[in-house]
């Protein structure tokens, strides 16, 4: 179904990690003058009003971005969060009200010659998104299945850029859909950075997806294990009942600085966003058992 409304979750802990990683990847792309392309397969509506009825009914952002804005950031965390928090702050000069979705983060961290392609399947959301970026010539919005679109959108004419795949996980086979989509598309643009967001219900199920993806990329595409990074954050015991307790990203072709930045950020971020016992994090720069760094509380 198409019942998922991101407005309920905008700015929660999972968005914080995802959008921080997205912003760091965009910053890295900007370090070279050549234009880049962003493809966002599940774009949402671009921005979220935290005073809207959905956000007010489910103020998950208060335990996400809300905890970061006035926090005393240690240097390593401040550096890793800077590109993301700069976007959030620019949208909110007087108190937290507008949360940027991935399209807005991409739009604000892109330059005049960079290009952004957004896919959103939900009819009303696609319209909202299209209205929002109608006057931005860099941004193209399509109401389309992002998985199906991916193959036809790759390769873009730019050599550099990123693909964000951020589905709603309403469908129990979502991980399989993700793997299938990248399976068909990756070879067409092997130089791109790919960011996969996925929920973390238990470490074992996530490992199965991550390792399966990594093994396929290594065996079939000749990718080096170091080119696959994973970062997970869980704010409560993963076995606890109720709302989503954990989430993470898998990044193919991450910027070479990403792992170090996340290693500096995650211990502080996990402490700051914790909602109960058993919270933790892991950052794994090569999806090999030997070099996983993790913190468990």
Catalytic positions, please? Answer: 166
Residues 55 and 97: beta-carbon distance below 8 Å: no
Contact 279, 235 (CB under 8 A): yes
Verify binding: residue 233, ligand SAM, rule CB under 6 A.
Answer: no
Out of 12, 102, 106, 110, which residue is the one contacting ligand SAM (CB under 6 A)? 102
Task: Report how far residue 122's alpha carbon sits from residue 49's, in angstroms, rounded to the nearest whole number.
Answer: 18
Task: Enter the tokens of residue 111.
Answer: 């330059």
**Is residue 155 reached through a cis peptide bond, with omega within 30 degrees of 0 on the bond before it?**
yes
Q: Which residues contact 203 (CB under 8 A, 6 or more apart)?
A: 232, 238
142 binds ligand SAM (CB under 6 A): no
Q: How far is the CB of 46 from ligand SAM (least distance, A)?
A: 7
Compute CA distances 248 → 7, 194, 203, 265, whole Å.
19, 14, 11, 14
- Of 38, 68, 109, 121, the one binding ligand SAM (CB under 6 A) is 121
Q: Does 168 bind ligand SAM (CB under 6 A)?
A: yes
Contacting ligand SAM within 45-84 (CB under 6 A): none
Out of 28, 36, 37, 44, the only residue in the binding site for ligand SAM (CB under 6 A) is: 44
How many of the chain's residues bind ligand SAM (CB under 6 A)? 21
Query: CA separation (Å) from 38 to 94, 126, 176?
Result: 30, 17, 23
Q: In this structure, are residues 208 and 200 in contact, taking their beta carbons and an 8 Å threshold?
A: no
* Least distance CB 40 / ligand SAM (angstroms): 6
Tokens of 156: 């873009």
132 lies in the site for ligand SAM, by CB under 6 A? no
* Near ligand SAM by CB under 6 A: residue from 60, 114, 120, 259: 120
Would you say 273 and 266 are in contact if contact means Cβ atoms under 8 Å apart? no
Using Cβ positions, the residue closest to ligand SAM within the complex turns out to be: 101
Binding residues for S-adenosyl-L-methionine: 19, 42, 102, 120, 145-146, 166
- Which residues of this chain interact with ligand SAM, rule CB under 6 A? 2, 4, 6, 40-44, 101-102, 119-122, 125, 145-147, 166-168
């Amino acid at each position: 179904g198409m019942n998922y409304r991101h407005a309920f979750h905008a700015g929660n802990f999972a968005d914080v990690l995802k959008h921080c990683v997205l912003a760091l990847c965009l910053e890295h792309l900007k370090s070279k003058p050549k234009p880049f392309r962003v493809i966002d397969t599940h774009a949402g509506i671009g921005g979220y009003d935290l005073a809207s009825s959905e956000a007010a009914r489910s103020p998950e952002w208060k335990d996400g971005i809300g905890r970061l804005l006035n926090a005393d950031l240690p240097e390593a965390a401040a550096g890793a969060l800077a590109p993301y928090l700069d976007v959030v702050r620019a949208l909110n000069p007087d108190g937290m009200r507008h949360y940027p979705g991935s399209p807005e983060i991409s739009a604000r961290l892109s330059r005049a010659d960079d290009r952004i392609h957004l896919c959103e399947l939900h009819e009303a959301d696609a319209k909202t998104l299209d209205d929002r970026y109608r006057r931005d010539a860099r941004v193209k919005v399509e109401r389309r299945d992002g998985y199906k679109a991916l193959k036809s959108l790759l390769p873009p004419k730019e050599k550099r850029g990123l693909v964000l795949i951020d589905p709603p996980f309403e469908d129990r086979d979502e991980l399989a859909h993700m793997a299938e989509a990248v399976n068909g598309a990756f070879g067409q643009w092997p130089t791109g950075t790919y960011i996969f967001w996925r929920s973390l219900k238990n470490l074992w199920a996530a490992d199965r997806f991550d390792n399966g993806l990594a093994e396929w990329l290594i065996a079939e595409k000749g990718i080096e294990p170091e080119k696959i990074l994973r970062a997970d954050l869980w704010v409560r015991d993963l076995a606890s009942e109720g709302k989503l307790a954990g989430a993470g990203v898998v990044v193919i072709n991450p910027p070479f600085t990403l792992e170090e930045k996340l290693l500096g950020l995650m211990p502080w971020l996990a402490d700051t966003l914790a909602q109960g016992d058993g919270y933790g994090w892991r950052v794994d720069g090569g999806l090999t058992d030997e070099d996983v760094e993790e913190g468990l509380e």
